[in-house]
Amino acid sequence: MPGLSQIYDALRTIRENGVPETPLVRSELSDRGAEVLLKLETLQPTGAFKLRGATNAIARLAPYQRERGVVCASTGNHGRAVAHAARAMGTRAIVCLSALVPDTKAKAIEALGAQVRRVGRSQDDAQREVERLVAENGMAAVPPFDDEDVIAGQGTIAIELLAARPDLEAIVVPLSGGGLMAGIAAAAKAMKPRIRMIGVSMDRGAAMAESLRAGRPVETEEVASLADSLGGGIGLRNRHTFALCRDLVDEVILVTEDEIYRGMRSLFHDDRLVAEGASATGHAALLAGKLELSGPTAFILSGRNVDMAQFAAVVAGEPVRVGDMSVGGQHEAPA
Ligand SMILES: *Cc1c(COP(=O)(O)O)cnc(C)c1O
């Protein structure tokens, strides 16, 4: 597992490569038992924390590898982070996308200087192209979470948090593949062993939460969610994040789509912050009475890359379609 010195090295590396420290601000939800502090990873240049891990991973490649370029298959925040970090470090990036990914997303990635390669009809097809480029062209794959350098990069958040507030009692982390959680937990528990690590996921299709319950990595069916950045599997051959989360996470809380909807509304109307569903899971858990605070607690606001039409509907208290469900809109208090 990444040790504290590796995570301090990552912090130096990402600073040298233009990844800023993000603010930690007091939430209006403070005083519901304890102070709540919000870590604004929403303010990273690509709108999400994933720039930390991608920057650290690319910076640590051998010079000959960086010359051949990097490749990944994510359409979301990781793809943007890899594109941005590669450009910042003068490396070529190819992001592989299936035909199902909308052109607007492909254009956003191209605008960051990466080459987009359209392959096949599914994320699996895109991943196979990544593996082909690694095998045939010697390009380096940058995985979204299950990689030591990526985990160490995400862990730099914990160093910033505990330097700003050594009195933190708990950290609440949106949980998907577990790179964010594993990195923060490894660093935070090394610095302060009795700090509580709390993961929050949606209650349907949360691969890490289900794997932790099963005691081994399991496959889950992917379901649409307001917290769309938390979808996707952890890999049946998971190497790092499953074991780290199993050993370091104190509690996992599951929230419903209605609770995430209310969390997004609270983040906007109470804290005046624009953030995506994944970032609102801490608010969701607290407002639903599922999270017990024992002292100063940090929530990681992991990203802000919302679908604007959906976000506008949520803050207006209108119903939104999430897969086959209609969420919100009936009993929303006027803002
Ligand atoms: C990727 C992502 C997460 C989850 O991170 P993992 O390392 O996969 O657990 C949470 N929020 C946002 C905004 C993300 O992009």
pLDDT higher than 90, residue 262 = yes
Distance CA 147, CA 52 (A): 13
Neighbours of 128 (CB within 10 A): 15
The per-residue pLDDT for 243 is: 98
Of 101-105, 125-129, 164-168, 235-239, the poorest mean pLDDT is in 101-105
Tell me what the mean pLDDT of segment 216-229 comes to: 92
Is 50 marked active-site? Answer: yes
For the Cβ of 238 lying below 6 angstroms from any atom of ligand 1, the answer is no
Instruction: Output the six-digit token pair for 12.
Output: 């130096």
* Phi/psi of residue 66, nearest 5 degrees: -65, -30
Of 35-49, 122-136, 186-200, 270-284, the poorest mean pLDDT is in 122-136
Instruction: Output the six-digit token pair for 202.
Output: 């949606």
Reference 176, options 219, 251, 215, 233; nearest CA is 233
What amino acid is encoded at 248 in this protein?
L
Distance CA 258, CA 28 (A): 20
pLDDT higher than 90, residue 260 = yes
Average model confidence (pLDDT) across the chain: 94
Q: Assign domain 70-138 to a CATH class.
A: alpha beta
Say what the pTM is: 0.96
**Probe residue for ligand 1, chosen from 38, 41, 49 as the CB with the greatest number of ligand atoms within 8 Å:** 49
Is 302 marked active-site? Answer: yes
For the Cβ of 278 lying below 6 angstroms from any atom of ligand 1, the answer is yes
DSSP per position, 15-39: HHTTPPPPPEEE-TTTTSSS-EEEE
Per the CB < 8 A criterion, the answer to whether 300 and 49 are in contact is: yes
Tell me what the mean pLDDT of segment 323-334 comes to: 79
Q: Assign domain 4-49+147-327 to a CATH class.
A: alpha beta
Domain with CATH 3.40.50.1100 in the chain: 4-49+147-327, 70-138
Reference 109, options 150, 181, 67, 54; nearest CA is 54
